[in-house]
């Protein structure tokens, strides 16, 4: 491995050097962090994304609460750019004999978007020179008092702060907090985007509960609707359907969805869902799946690396079950808090370790609470093994 490292960059500030900041992960949390840093005046920011620029990246529906929406507002991203339908209504329906029975209406304190829409809005604003794709991190070490990132292609780069926002399979978590390992919760979120809707005037988020151990969510998206079908699935069955274990294949891309997996979903739709919702599932050609995972609650968010630091944000810190609707929200809110702490250091010379500890003290409890909440919600719906 080459050990030729560029010296740490220096810049203007209130008695402090300009930090060189490496952001790992180019999905949602990483770009939000980078854009907030750039907006705050940090000009030594680089985003490293493991996937090449040509790699297909996609995701499903995302609920964003008001605090996260406010962060996006501050970044100058108009809400209509990533929110296609402004309904805040969640319709919860008990289903008996494939027909809606009990219906409850509640209001969600936020808006729904999709990974694709939000990522597109963020990527359009990220300067080309900031994002480096095809850069898979393999290690993190200390050299001459600074964090040094090691990459799969054999080279290394140093930084003063390394921010890992690289999702559920985070290399950062494996390097910094290796004892916290993902464990399978016993059920799968099968999902797809259909070019049709069960009703032409669909505007609200729908949650159907046919029986314990099954949940079907559906919401309008541009050009159709996005659905998620939660079904119990033993580990052996998961391997049969998707070709690997749930803690190895954390995102099932369309090419990994076997005919058996497709038939499994179609059969459950036919037996449990109202006909109009079943038709949406059957009409969906391209499908994906995500195993629902748990992890031990985090006890910290930031680590000293020599005179520098490394931090975990969002799903890299603590993946949460999708029922909590806190995955993207945690990452965005943590990113905003981190930039606030760094800005106090850069502008006014605030002690950096103390600022980072203060950031951790404010945001860690919410991350821990979301980790605990997931199994509780899953148990209420009769999903999985927890």
Tens of pLDDT, residue by residue over 161-212, are 999 999 999 999 999 999 999 999 999 999 999 999 998 889 999 999 999 9
Q: Are residues 39 and 176 in the same domain?
A: yes
- In residues, how long is the chain? 386
Range of the domain at 198: 79-111+183-294
In this structure, the strands spanning 131-132 and 45-48 are parallel
| Average pLDDT rounded to a whole number, residues 64-86 | 96
Spatial CB neighbours of 104, under 8 Å, sequence gap ≥ 6: 91, 92, 93
Question: Helix or strand or coil: residue 312?
Answer: strand
Mean per-residue pLDDT over the chain, rounded: 92
The residue from 294, 311, 334 where one domain ends is 294
Q: What is the pTM (predicted TM-score) of this model?
A: 0.92
Q: Decide if pLDDT at 94 tops 50.
A: yes
Phi, psi of 59 (to 5 degrees): -165, 175
pLDDT band at 60 (very low <50, low <70, confident <90, very high): confident
| Average pLDDT rounded to a whole number, residues 243-249 | 96
In a domain, 226, yes or no: yes
In a domain, 151, yes or no: yes
Q: Which residue has the higher pLDDT, 82 or 385?
A: 82
In a domain, 46, yes or no: yes
| Closest to 331 measured CA to CA, from 22, 47, 21, 33 | 33
Q: Are residues 309 and 328 in the same domain?
A: yes
Query: Residue 231 sits in a domain of what CATH number?
Result: 3.30.9.60
CA angle 165, 167, 169 (to 5 degrees): 125
In a domain, 201, yes or no: yes
Q: Do 370 and 65 touch, CB atoms closer than 8 A?
A: no
Please count the structural domains in the chain: 2
H-helix or E-strand containing 200?
none
| Average pLDDT rounded to a whole number, residues 278-290 | 96
Q: Are residues 285 and 303 in the same domain?
A: no
Amino acid 18: pLDDT: 84
The residue from 259, 275, 294 where one domain ends is 294
Alpha helices in 83-231 (DSSP H): 115-123, 171-176
Amino acid 200: pLDDT: 87
pLDDT band at 260 (very low <50, low <70, confident <90, very high): very high
Q: Decide if pLDDT at 54 tops 80.
A: no
Q: Decide if pLDDT at 6 tops 50.
A: no
Q: Decide if pLDDT at 318 tops 80.
A: yes
């Amino acid at each position: 491995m080459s050990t030729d490292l560029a010296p740490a960059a220096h810049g203007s500030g209130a008695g402090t050097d300009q930090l060189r900041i490496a952001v790992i992960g180019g999905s949602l949390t990483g770009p939000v962090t980078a854009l907030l840093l750039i907006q705050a005046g940090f000009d030594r920011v680089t985003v490293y994304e493991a996937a090449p620029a040509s790699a297909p990246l996609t995701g499903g529906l995302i609920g964003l609460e008001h605090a996260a929406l406010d962060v996006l507002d501050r970044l100058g991203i108009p809400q209509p750019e990533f929110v296609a339908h402004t309904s805040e209504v969640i319709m919860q329906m008990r289903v008996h004999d494939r027909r809606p029975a009990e219906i409850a209406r509640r209001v969600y304190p936020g808006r729904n978007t999709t990974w694709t829409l939000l990522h597109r809005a963020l990527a359009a604003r990220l300067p080309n020179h900031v994002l480096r794709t095809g850069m898979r991190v393999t290690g993190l070490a200390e050299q001459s008092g600074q964090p040094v990132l090691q990459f799969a292609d054999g080279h290394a780069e140093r930084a003063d702060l390394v921010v890992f926002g690289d999702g559920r399979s985070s290399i950062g978590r494996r390097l910094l907090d290796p004892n916290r390992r993902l464990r399978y919760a016993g059920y799968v979120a099968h999902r797809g985007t259909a070019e049709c809707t069960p009703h032409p005037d669909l505007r609200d988020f729908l949650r159907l509960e046919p029986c314990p151990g099954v949940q079907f969510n559906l919401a309008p998206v541009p050009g159709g609707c996005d659905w998620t079908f939660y079904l119990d699935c033993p580990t052996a069955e998961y391997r049969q359907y998707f070709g690997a274990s749930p803690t190895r294949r954390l995102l099932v891309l369309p090419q990994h969805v076997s005919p058996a997996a497709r038939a499994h979903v179609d059969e459950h739709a036919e037996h449990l869902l109202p006909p109009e919702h079943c038709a949406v599932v059957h009409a969906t050609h391209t499908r994906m799946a995500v195993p629902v995972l748990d992890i031990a609650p985090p006890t910290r968010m930031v680590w000293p690396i020599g005179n520098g630091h490394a931090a975990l944000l969002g799903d890299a810190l603590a993946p949460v079950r999708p029922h909590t609707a806190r995955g993207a929200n945690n990452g965005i809110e943590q990113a905003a808090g981190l930039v606030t702490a760094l800005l106090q250091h850069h502008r006014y010379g605030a002690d950096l370790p103390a600022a980072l500890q203060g950031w951790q003290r404010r945001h860690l409890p919410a991350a821990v609470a979301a980790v605990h909440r997931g199994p509780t919600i899953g148990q209420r719906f009769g999903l999985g093994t927890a």
